Amino acid sequence: MSNNDSITVGLAQIAPVWLDRSRTLDKVIHWVEKAADAECQLVAFGETLVPGYPFWLSCTDGAQFNSAVQKELHAHYLDQAVSITAGHLDTLAEVAADRNIEIMVGCYERPDDRGGHTGYCSLVRVDRFGHVRNSHRKLMPTYEERLAWGTGDGNGLRVFELGPFTVGGLNCWENWMPLARSALYAQGEDLHVAVWPGAKRNTIDNTRFVAAESRSWVLSVSGLMRHEDIPDDMPSRDLIIQNTPQLMSDGGSCIAAPDGSWHIEPVVGTEELLVATVDHEFVRKERQNFDPFGHYSRPDVLQLNINRERQTGACFSADD
């Protein structure tokens, strides 16, 4: 990394090839290449973009117990989930190393450490050296998401250095959780990546608020979802299309500056790479009058305890 005071970032607002892991990863790699060509040091993608967000839950009676439709859709979703240990992200990691670019991508992760049959909404970081460095599993799935995702843990509440910046990120409505945000602020975060499945109604309020609260740059990166993104062999495809608008998720990717002003206002309805240069001096200027975990904190009165243990249902002693 250069020693200057700014970096270039890319927000890839794209749609998945819905619930098709391989083809969606191919598409992600294509947009990583575009970001690298635009000289981005970091590119980010929306929540559970790989292989896609469970949009069917709200339009096909997702809470119906023992529904054959819901079981088939869930089985298909699990089959297309991302297993890091199985090497599903290896090619993406190779591209990151080849193009010297950091990647943050939302994945429906199927981890071995929880038995391998439950998926989690995870924000995965692939570093510019080609290593998967972090997987933050969403602390609390929102509303109907609990029918598809397990509850995560604090293991992934971590930041990393990129040029002059300290970067962290959260999934969707975690960005409304004061203590989750504070866990990142406490580690010096000054560039925050908020990933969403895609809804301007969320990003238009949350992005500027979090920027003003933290005096940080905030990148809200959304997915997009249209009927044309549903493969022909998708289970219950016709039922889903009959019960949803053509634009199922409208995007809303945007960037707010450390004073809460718009740097890029929400973009809706289109696949697009938003590219911006963010300046660390802006952060330092805004921290002059407010630093949430520095001079404006009162640790003698208020403290936050964070459990970063990876949660598991069984602990095994050493074999004989």
CATH at residue 255? 3.60.110.10
For residue 141, what are its two tokens?
């799935």
In a domain, 314, yes or no: no
For residue 207, what are its two tokens?
């992005």
Q: Work out how many domains the chain is built from and give that number.
A: 1
With a CB cutoff of 8 Å and minimum separation 6, the contacts of 123 are: 47, 104, 105, 106, 107, 135, 136, 138, 156, 169, 170, 171, 193, 195
For residue 153, what are its two tokens?
């843990």
Is pLDDT above 70 for 249? yes
Is residue 2 very low, low, confident or very high in pLDDT (cuts 50, 70, 90)?
very low
In a domain, 33, yes or no: yes
CA–CA gap between residue 102 and residue 10 (Å, rounded): 10
In a domain, 315, yes or no: no
CA–CA gap between residue 193 and residue 45 (Å, rounded): 10
pLDDT of residue 168: 98
pTM: 0.96
With 0-12 / 13-18 / 19 or more C-beta atoms within 10 angstroms meaning exposed / middle / buried, residue 155 is middle
Q: Which residues, listed in sequence order, are joined to residue 120 by a DSSP beta bridge?
A: 109
Is residue 1 very low, low, confident or very high in pLDDT (cuts 50, 70, 90)?
very low
In a domain, 295, yes or no: no
In a domain, 308, yes or no: no
Structural domain of 140: 6-286
Mean pLDDT of 198-202: 95
pLDDT of residue 320: 60
* Beta strand 191-196 pairing with 165-171: parallel
pLDDT of residue 229: 96
In a domain, 268, yes or no: yes
Is pLDDT above 50 for 208? yes
In a domain, 200, yes or no: yes
pLDDT of residue 3: 59
Kindly report, residue by residue over 137-192, the tens digit of the pLDDT: 999 999 999 999 999 999 999 999 999 999 999 999 999 999 999 999 999 999 99
pLDDT of residue 245: 95
Is pLDDT above 80 for 319? no
In a domain, 319, yes or no: no
With a CB cutoff of 8 Å and minimum separation 6, the contacts of 279 are: 5, 6
* Beta strand 120-126 pairing with 102-109: antiparallel
